[in-house]
Structure 1
Amino acid sequence: MIAVLSRFQNDAHVRVIDVEPDYTMDQVAAACAAPAVDRQVRHPAPGKPLRVRPTTKDDSAPAYARAMTVREAGFRHYECIDVFVE
């Protein structure tokens, strides 16, 4: 398992989420949304897929490809990511 620091769109909390190296970015987004959506925040656009990108100061990083794996992205423990809707 790899621990990532997840920041969900429209939520002020950062959560530590465990992900597997073989998870796709869709699976990472789902794992990050599970403890947040309908508990502390609403899905920003129900019906639209959640995306994952590296955390940056201005939220300008491009999203990872949805089929890319954690291993392919080169995540390390405590990688900072944003989960959002484009």
Structure 2
Amino acid sequence: MGAQLLRTPDKLCAILEALVATVVPEFEIGVSVKIRLLATAPETEALVRRLVATGITGLTVHCRTTPMRPREPAIRGQLRMVAD
């Protein structure tokens, strides 16, 4: 599914909550997630807050939106917001 899950944040968060609840206690490892930026900074910020609330231990942000290709410059300006 990959980036397709970014379109359904409720489903994405439900999957992560289930993973955290099952994997973390049984295997004593963390759950991390990698996302792309959404269309706007406020949308990305809202998603990041929801993801963090699921109990994940790591978050990687690919600083491009889903339709962007590697030849296009990354949008690094949103990293500060994600880190905060």
TM-score using structure 1 length = 0.28
Return the index of the structure with the highest Cα Rg.
Answer: 2
Q: Which has the higher helix share?
A: 2
TM-score using structure 2 length = 0.28
Q: Which has the higher strand share?
A: 1
| More relative contact order, 1 or 2 (CA 8 Å, 6+ apart) | 1
